[in-house]
Amino acid sequence: KISGCPNSCGQHPIAPLGFFGATRRSENHTAPFYRIVLGGRAATENAALSKECGLVPAKNVPALVGDFLKNYLADKDKSEDFYAYLERRGYQDMTALSKQYERLPSYSENKDYYFDWGKDEEFSLAGIGPGECGAGVLDMIEADILEAEGSLKKAKGLLDSEKLDPSAKEFSRAISLGARCLLVTFGLEPKNDLEAFKYFKEKFVSTKVVSDTFNDITEKAWELNSPGLTKDRLKELNDYAVSLLNEVKEAYKNMDSSFKFFPRQEVTAEKAPDKKEAQEGHILDLKGVRCPMNYVQAKLFLENAPIGTTVEICLDEGEPIQNVPVSLKNDGQEILEIKKTGGYYKVLVKKLVDY
C-alpha cells in the first residue's frame, strides 16, 4: 500500500509493507522520499497499525524492497507467516536496510534523485499528489528543523572535542536552517543564506514573531564563517543558535492552519488578521513560480481578499496547473474557469471561504 503524502489515502497504516511520501531538501533542490512501514493488519483479530522503519529517497525504494524480500525468502521458517517473520527479524532487517539506502546524493553528484519516477520535470511538493501541497510544506519545515537540531548536536560535540573550525561550520549551518525553514509558508525560496536572513528579518523579526535579538543574524553567520574563533566565543554563539531554533520551533508550534504567525506576546490571542480590499478580477501572475511556492502565494493572496472576490491566477504548464487549482478547490474556493493562453494557463478563482 502506498500513499503519496502523509495523509492515509493509500491506507499505509494497515499495510503489511507500505510507504508514504515525504520530501527532503538539499541546498536549493527538493527530492522525493518515502517512509517505510511494516506490520499493518486489518483483521477481526490481531489488528495492528504498521510501524515506521526508515526514510529513503524514492529512487532507492525498488532496491530496498528487493533486498528485503530476498532476505525474507531466504531466511523465513516454513512454519511462520509474514508477521511472525517481522517479529523475529523483519523489523530489524528493514531498519538496517533503510540505513544503507537513506543517503541523498547532492544534485551535482546525481540529479536523477531529484526527479520522481516517470517524471521529466524536477520534483516539487505539488507533485506529491493533487491537493496535498500543504502537507508537503509541513514536511519540509519539520525536516529542516530536524536537520538544524542535528547540526547543533554535532557542533556541540565538535566544540567539546576542541575542533573549533568544524564546530563553527555546523553552528553556521544550524542558523541557516533555522532562518529559512519557515520561509516556505510565505512562498519564498531564498537562493542563498544572505537572502534567507533578509527574508527572515522581514517576515519574523520585524513582525515580532521572534525577538529582535536576531536582528544581527547576518552578522552572527558571517562571524561563524570567519576562522580563528575562540572556544568561549563559540559557546556564546551556541547559545545564540539554540535560542534561535527554540523561537522558530515555538513560532511553528503556534502557526495556525492557514500558515499565519503571531507576535510572541499575542500567540494566545484569537485575533483575526486584517483584510485588505481586493478588486474583482485582480490578476496574480505566478508564471515561473515553482510548487509549492505558487500554491502558498495564491493562498496568501486570497487571504487578503473579501469573500466573493474573483481572481485570475496565471500558472505554468505541468505540475502547477495540475495541482494548484485542486489545492484551492480543496480549500473551499470555486474554480470558475481554466483557460490555456500561449504557454501558460489562466485560472479564474472565486473566493468562497476565509482561511
Per-residue pLDDT of the chain in tens (355 residues, 90 and over written 9): 555 555 556 677 788 898 888 888 887 788 889 989 998 887 767 788 888 899 999 999 999 999 999 999 999 888 899 999 999 999 999 999 999 999 999 999 999 999 988 888 888 654 343 445 566 677 788 888 999 999 999 999 999 999 999 999 999 999 999 999 999 888 787 888 999 999 999 999 999 999 999 999 999 999 999 988 999 999 999 999 999 999 999 999 888 767 889 898 755 444 444 433 334 558 899 998 877 778 888 888 888 888 888 999 999 888 788 888 888 888 889 988 888 887 888 999 999 988 7
In the chain the first and final C-alpha atoms are separated, in Å, by 33
Task: Say what angle helices 133-160 and 231-254 make with each other, to 10 degrees.
Answer: 160
Q: Residues 159-178: pLDDT tens digits?
A: 999 999 999 999 999 999 99
Q: How far apart are CA 46 and CA 204, in angstroms?
A: 49
Q: Residues 124-173: pLDDT tens digits?
A: 654 343 445 566 677 788 888 999 999 999 999 999 999 999 999 999 99
Q: How far apart are CA 322 and CA 64, in angstroms?
A: 30
In the sheet that holds 310-316, the strands lie side by side as 282-285, 310-316, 344-350, 334-341
Q: Residues 219-258: pLDDT tens digits?
A: 999 999 998 899 999 999 999 999 999 999 999 988 876 7
Query: Which parts of the chain are beta strand (E)?
Result: 2-3, 17-26, 29-38, 51-57, 282-285, 310-316, 334-341, 344-350
Q: Return the C-alpha cell found at 187.
A: 512562498
- For the chain, list the domains and their CATH numbers: 2-114 (3.30.413.10), 127-266 (1.20.120.330), 282-350 (3.30.110.40)
